[in-house]
A and B are shown apart, each in its own frame.
Chain A
Amino acid sequence: MRILLALLSGGLFGAGLFISGMTDTTKVQGWLDVFGQWDPTLAFVMGGAMIPMAIAWRLTIGRRPVVGGEFPKAPRADIDNRLVIGSVLFGVGWGLAGLCPGPSLASLSYGGWGGFVFLAAMLIGMGLAPTITARLDRTPAAA
């Protein structure tokens, strides 16, 4: 059941990314480029995705997941170095190539060699992250 639901979710995610145009790097970079030919599409995608998700979060109240177990705990509220530094680093890469993790996989079949190069570098980065995280955690919060 877990596997079937994961297949369904991943498939819908891929279809949504495909239809929305978010695997087209020019549309993502076009949305970020407020000083160029600004493309509003990404805002509609984000806004559209929030609607079912907000409903889903409300439906979790007083219920359990279909497969059993627990829903995710209430979100943490602390803003730490990791969150800010990581998000800035992610944003820089996102702007550079116009790809983020979801679309990099969704577009693998039509992204050419460039898509594979980006994905390989991203996977290496993900492998390096625990070491970098451990170092950040040792740095005092004021740093």
Chain B
Amino acid sequence: MEQDWILGLIGGLIIGLAGAVFLLGNGRVMGASGIIGGLVDGSGRANAAERIAFIAALIAVPAVLMLLFAPDKSTHVTGNWLVLVAAGLCVGIGTRIANGCTSGHGVCGISRLSLRGIVATVFYILAGGLSIVLFRHGLRVI
């Protein structure tokens, strides 16, 4: 739908603004997997407070927007717990091994023409496409 890409572009600009604030303000790359993962494995203990603040706002603001404007908002995520667990493990392990996800390697990396960011993004998009081909069109589990 036409409205979808306009909202996508506006939302994208706001996401970029979020990354700009984190970079110019705190001097850090806004990577969701790094901010979360640093709390999980303890590597980010030194600046745990700002990580927790970031995550709290990341959860709270969409919650408020949902209550105010879109109470029927849904992620349409699968109800298959096996798929959810497998996917969660892959995303958790993969992003930490590769040191980044869609926000860190994708948004923040590509925008500074980081070779690693570009290579990572090419690989996770290709793998994501193949995953859909295999699990949706092949095995029909999603």
Contacts and interface: CB of A to CB of B under 8 A. Distances in A.
Verify that A and B bind, or say they do not. yes
Interface of A: 1-27, 29, 32-36, 39-57, 59-60, 63-72, 75-79, 82-112, 114-115, 117-130, 132-133, 136
Interface residues of B, number: 109
Interface of B: 4-30, 32-33, 36-37, 40-41, 43, 47, 49-51, 53-63, 65-66, 73-79, 81, 83-99, 101-103, 105-112, 114-117, 119-121, 123-133, 135-137, 142
A49 B98 contact: no
- Interface residue SS majority, chain B: helix
Contacts, number: 490
B102 A100 contact: yes
B27 A67 contact: yes
Contacts of B57: 6-11, 13-14
Nearest to B53: A6
A48 B94 contact: no
A103 B58 CA distance: 9
A89 B50 CA distance: 28
A92 B15 contact: no
